[in-house]
């Protein structure tokens, strides 16, 4: 059940796009971890492309709202981290292909 819910959360996260890059935040490698506790509260550990990212305020809030909107998730919180710092090697093959990096 938890694995299925994590997959549903990831699918929801793939609908959020970085405003400067036409790739979703999951494929960009900005989502480090999706955790669920036994009460189905979700925690998303994520980063930004840089600490001075123009959506540093709004993107984590958008992620939290999107996760909370997933059926059966009781609550959600986003933990922002810059350790390890994001770099282009964290992008999926799909994202690299989309951006012409392959």
Overall size of the chain counted in residues: 102
Query: CB-based burial of residue 59 (10 Å sphere; 0-12 exposed, 13-18 middle, 19+ buried)?
Result: buried
Residue 8 three-state SS: helix
Given this model, what pLDDT does residue 69 score? Answer: 97
Given this model, what pLDDT does residue 22 score? Answer: 85
**pTM for the whole thing?**
0.92
Under the banding of pLDDT at 50, 70 and 90, the label for residue 95 is very high
A 10 A CB-CB count for 82 gives: 10
Given this model, what pLDDT does residue 102 score? Answer: 81
Domain positions in the chain:
2-86
CB 46 within 8 A of CB 30: yes
Q: Domain 2-86 in CATH: superfamily? A: Fe-S cluster assembly (FSCA) (3.30.300.130)
* pLDDT 10s digits, 58-92: 999 999 999 999 999 999 999 999 999 999 999 99
pLDDT at 55 over 90: no
Please state whether the peptide bond connecting residue 84 to the residue before it is cis, i.e. omega within 30 degrees of 0.
yes
């Amino acid at each position: 059940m938890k694995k299925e819910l994590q997959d549903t959360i990831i699918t929801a996260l793939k609908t959020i796009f970085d405003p400067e890059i036409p790739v979703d935040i999951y494929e960009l490698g900005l989502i480090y971890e999706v955790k669920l506790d036994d009460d189905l509260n979700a925690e998303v550990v994520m980063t930004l492309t840089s600490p001075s990212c123009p959506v540093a305020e709004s993107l984590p809030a958008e992620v939290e709202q999107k996760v909370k909107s997933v059926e059966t998730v009781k609550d959600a919180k986003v933990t922002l981290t810059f350790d390890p710092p994001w770099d282009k090697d964290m992008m999926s093959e799909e994202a690299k292909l989309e951006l012409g990096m392959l």
